[in-house]
Amino acid sequence: MTTVTSPLAGRAIGLASVPDPVFSGAMVGPGTAIDPVREPSEAVAPVDGVIVSLHPHAFVVVDADGHGVLTHLGIDTVQLNGKGFELLVNKGDTVTRGQGIVRWNPAAVEEAGKSAVCPIVALEATADALGELRDDGDVKTGDVLFSWR
């Protein structure tokens, strides 16, 4: 079983509340979302694993069990072309849970006209594979968001 922890501090709101139909409809996969605190911060690895996809606005870490966890920093933030995001690791790097992956500022994302809401998605999973799903309440970086059976 894989435990997925929050890469950010903020408020868990669940995927259904994400202002994007691809995420809110769980088309990418099941999971939850975080409405992050509005201050410069680092998004950290939600699991131990390897960075298999890395963009300024999103990253995927695959753990030893082959579970891929997507962290997407904001909605439509690909349109910012990396402005306001700083990569702290490289694709292919092995990372540990809690290690900084991307430095960003959710307030600047909103100032640029984008949503700062961050989906955290279990890629290629079914909804019934997840347990202990956190979809409301305040979360700190490192708090458990869900378990993956």
CB 121 within 8 A of CB 133: no
Interval 56-71: pLDDT, tens: 999 999 999 999 999 9
State the chain's mean pLDDT as an integer. Answer: 96
What gap in Å lies between CA 141 and CA 149, rounded to an integer?
A: 22
Instruction: Write down the catalytic residue from 55, 57, 67, 72.
Output: 72
Closest CA to 74 of 98, 45, 107, 100: 107
**5-21 tens-digit pLDDT:** 999 999 999 999 999 99
Burial class, 114, CB count within 10 angstroms (exposed 0-12 / middle 13-18 / buried 19+): buried
Residues 52-58 have a mean pLDDT of 97
Q: What's the rounded Cα separation, in Å, for the pair 63 and 100?
A: 16
Contact predicate 46/61, CB 8 Å: yes
Give the pLDDT of residue 63: 97
CATH code of domain 2-148: 2.70.70.10
Q: What is the model's pTM?
A: 0.97
Per domain, the residue ranges of the chain are 2-148
Closest C-alpha to 84, from 119, 54, 111, 45: 111
86 confidence band (pLDDT: 50, 70, 90): very high
Per-residue pLDDT tens digits for 21-42: 999 999 999 999 999 999 999 9
Give the DSSP letter of residue 30: S
Instruction: Return the pLDDT at 77.
Output: 96
Is 72 annotated as catalytic?
yes
